[in-house]
Amino acid sequence: MNRSTGGIDLKKREAFAKLPSVDKVLANQKIQDLLKNYPRELILEATREIIQSKRKEIIDKNDDLDSFHIQEDVLINDVINSTKNKFQLSIKKVINATGIVIHTNLGRSKLSPKVQDELVNIAFGYSNLEYNLSKGKRGSRYDHLVDIIKRLTGAEDVLIVNNNAAAVLLVLNTIAKDGEVIVSRGELVEVGGSFRISSIMELGSGKLVEVGSTNKTHIQDYKGGLSEETKAIMKVHTSNYRILGFTESVGIEELKQEEEFKNIPIIEDLGSGVFVDLSKYGLTYEPTVIDSLKKGADIVTFSGDKMLGGPQAGIIVGKKEYIEKMKKNQLTRALRVDKMTIAALEATLRMYLDEEDAIRNIPTLKMITCSLKELDKKADVLLNRIQALNIDADIQKEKNVSQVGGGSMPLEKLDTYTVTIKPNKFSVSYLEKRLRNSDSHIIGRINEDKYILDVRTIEENEFDLIVKELKLIFN
């Protein structure tokens, strides 16, 4: 060992000696106060980590060890912040500035504020979840939703499960177990999270009989798929893609007219459940649950948290004889919904009794139907607020397009206004990262080297937070 390293080793030992022990940190009054509100485990872990990081700092230092000193109050603050971070929920609220309304990664639909009281009431108390109040005896959790959904869709009966994938699984397992289901090759979709009709069929233990070709399926193809084992015909709404051009498919009405299919139930997986004819609001017509039943579908399944704008759920509507069978299927018990889902769904559905109420108060519908004029005004407000910050960046209002998302209405181009930010002193990706990791967790998009805030999915009351975070980042 040469002299100089010997000198450094000595200095390092001196520096190590300055580090407080875990016990000393724990004895600090601020940490004692912290112990009243946070688990000891987490505080201990944070303390060890902070001390360890200081050790590493000493090890990595070579010539500037003289300047090394421990500021105890800084170290204590680090422990406090680290403990608080560890205690935070992993699932956090974010600001969706992407303009994608049903953003699967960001929790799909947000519930209406009008649902909040009902949800909290039920979640934090006892309820008549499975209790019939008028008879004073056991009831069914599914009863709460039957009347309202029957009223809104005209269905004979209703069943609710955990999500639409579960709904399709339950339907196929009940109707088509050990038999065959005919599906057009043009409708064999895969949706997010690798949900494939074919895989669900395997789980449901039925056999898929594919008919037709990707772009064209004729009534003769369906007839060719028939056998002694045919238990159902399944139609799948190709919600997340479209086959355009030279195409042909067979509608439910057409299938219903054929003598051969008379006793074969027709199942339709609609994906997104729509109760409102959106063409009235300038959007492309999306098949509604009501229309699907009217055309003759025996069973229809759809999600609660896509276009419907409610909580995650799978809704099954249709003929009583099939729904009764599903209720008796043991799978139903495994796929059942929680009381919070029932409360949020019932309260959301109640708004549909008045279509205007639904459009105005269900965030998903409100954001999708928001007019360009309103978005323009909203973007002006945000633009002015950001410009007033006088930050070193190029800030513009620009026309752009937002998406419905969630695999719904893939071709719909929703015109929108955005506020774009191009920082002068640092990169756009740095800005994106800082906003994403800020306390408000702002999630926007980058396009052509500009950061884009699409006002369609941002609430006006979130502008304050965006402005606050921008100010912090640019100063």
Ligand X SMILES: *Cc1c(COP(=O)(O)O)cnc(C)c1O
Handedness of CA 27, 29, 31, 36 (dihedral sign): positive
CA pseudo-torsion sign 92, 93, 96, 100: positive
State which residue, 306 or 397, has the beta carbon closest to ligand X.
Answer: 306
Please report, as residue ranges, which positions from 241 to 280 form the binding site for ligand X (by CB under 6 A): 269, 271
Contacts of ligand X in 4-43 (CB under 6 A)? none
> Which position among 99, 186, 273, 407 is part of the footprint of ligand X (CB under 6 A)?
407
| Minimum CB distance to ligand X smaller for 168 or for 337 | 168
Determine which residue in the list 141, 237, 295, 450 makes contact with ligand X, applying CB under 6 A: 237
Residue 165 lies near ligand X (rule: CB under 6 A): yes
CB under 6 A: which stretch of 4-12, 74-82, 164-172, 288-296 binds ligand X? 164-172
Residues 110-149 that bind ligand X (CB under 6 A): none
CA distances (Å), 246 to each of 210, 216, 222, 249, 410, in order?
20, 8, 19, 11, 19
Q: Which amino acid is at 235?
A: K
Candidate residues 28, 82, 153, 303; the one interacting with ligand X per rule CB under 6 A: 303
Q: How many CA atoms lie within 13 A of 334 on its CB side?
A: 7
Using rule CB under 6 A, residue 309 touches ligand X: no
**Interface residue with ligand X, options 28, 153, 239, 420 (CB under 6 A):** 239
Which residues fall within 8 angstroms of residue 65, CB to CB, at 6 or more apart? 8, 11, 12, 14, 15, 58
**Nearer Cβ to ligand X, position 362 or 453?**
362
Q: Which of 236, 349, 404, 419 binds ligand X (CB under 6 A)?
A: 236
Helix axes 463-474, 428-436, angle to 10 degrees: 130
Task: Report residue 180 as tokens.
Answer: 């065959």
Q: Is 423 in the site for ligand X (CB under 6 A)?
A: no
User: In terms of C-beta density within 10 A (0-12 exposed, 13-18 middle, 19 or more buried), how is residue 88 classed?
Assistant: exposed
301 closest CA partner among 273, 262, 334, 340: 273
Written as six digits, the tokens of 335 are: 């796929």
The answer to whether 163 contacts ligand X (rule: CB under 6 A) is: yes
Nearest approach, Cβ of residue 200 and ligand X (Å): 8
At its nearest, how many Å lie between ligand X and the CB of residue 21?
Answer: 52
Structure token pair of residue 184: 């057009």
CB of 430 to ligand X, least distance (A): 34
Please report the sign of the dihedral spanned by the C-alpha atoms of residue 265, residue 270, residue 276, residue 281: negative
The residue whose Cβ lies closest to ligand X is 271
Q: How many residues does the chain have?
A: 475
In angstroms, the CA 290 to CA 122 distance is 29
Stretch that binds ligand X, among 112-120, 159-167, 221-229, 465-473 (CB under 6 A): 159-167
Q: Give me the least distance between CB of 232 and ligand X, in Å please.
A: 16
Q: How far is the CB of 452 from ligand X (least distance, A)?
A: 26
Number of residues that bind ligand X (CB under 6 A): 15
Is 153 a residue that touches ligand X (CB under 6 A)? no
Of residues 154, 166, 139, 112, the one with CA closest to residue 346: 112
Decide whether 15 or 362 has the Cβ nearer to ligand X: 362
Could you tell me which residues are beta bridge partners of residue 157? Answer: 318
Contact 352, 289 (CB under 8 A): no
Footprint (CB under 6 A) of ligand X, residues 187-226: 189, 191, 195
Residue 111 — φ and ψ, nearest 5°? -75, 155
Return the CA Rg of the chain: 29
Return the percent helix, strand and coil in the chain, to nearest 5: 50, 20, 35
CB 381 within 8 A of CB 452: no
CB of 178 to ligand X, least distance (A): 23
Judged by beta carbon, residue 170 or residue 379, the one nearer ligand X is 170
28 vs 239 by CB, closer to ligand X: 239
**Dihedral sign computed on CA atoms, order 146, 150, 155, 156:** positive
Q: Residue 311 or residue 423: which is nearer to ligand X going by CB? A: 311
Shortest Å, Cβ 167 to ligand X: 7
Least spacing, CB of residue 150 vs ligand X, in Å: 21
Q: Applying CB under 6 A, which part among 78-86, 234-242, 291-299, 347-355 lies near ligand X? A: 234-242
Q: Shortest approach of ligand X to residue 269 CB, angstroms?
A: 5
Chain residues binding ligand X by CB under 6 A are 163-165, 168, 189, 191, 195, 236-237, 239, 269, 271, 303, 314, 407
